[in-house]
Amino acid sequence: MAISNLYVGLLHYPVYNKHKDKVTTSITHIDLHDISRLCCSFGVKNFLMINPLKSQHDLYTKIVDFWQSDIGKEYQPDRAEAISKTLFISSYQEAIEYIKNQEKVYPIIITTTAQHRDNQVEYDSLSYLIRDNKPVFIFFGTGYGLAEEVHQMADYVLKPIDPNTHYNHLSVRSAAAIVLDRLLPKNK
């Protein structure tokens, strides 16, 4: 089932490092490949890689160009299809503006975190938004999570995934898969 109103963003700035400094993280090919495939599998309209650095845009372009080439399409057509719905955008503000231009309305913004915060919401209390066909933009962070300013502009912050152990540091690819599976309506 295609979810024509859902967008997913992977933010590389502003995010925190382990010392709580605001930093820019690097794009990884595995995040690009795996989250693109995840978004295509769940019918997400676009996956937005968000990074302000030209060097990271160049890396992104190199990877995407290969998978969109005749060789890449022949070698792995499924990956070429998934990556075709992925876009590189320089800032989260530009990403929101892109969605607003596509949908003709400001998107509902949901952020994710592994940290416990005040006023976080459960997955089931947000799944109705997607069924209502409103544009929804879910932010995932790299490094040690989204900077506070990103959470502050969100309409909703999801509760963290609770593995019920002392260890809670999932890869962003794993977290994205769990979040989408929990949020999206199921075919019955």
**Could you state, in order of their start, the residue ranges of all structural domains in the chain?**
3-183
What digits encode the pLDDT tens for the residues 19-51? 999 999 999 999 999 999 999 999 999 999 999
Q: Domain 3-183, what architecture?
A: 3-Layer(aba) Sandwich (3.40)
What digits encode the pLDDT tens for the residues 52-103? 999 999 999 999 999 999 999 999 999 999 999 999 999 999 999 999 999 9
pLDDT at 168: 77
CA separation (Å) from 85 to 7, 37, 78, 88, 90? 10, 10, 12, 10, 17
C-beta separation of 83 from 124 below 8 A: no
pLDDT greater than 80 at residue 16: yes
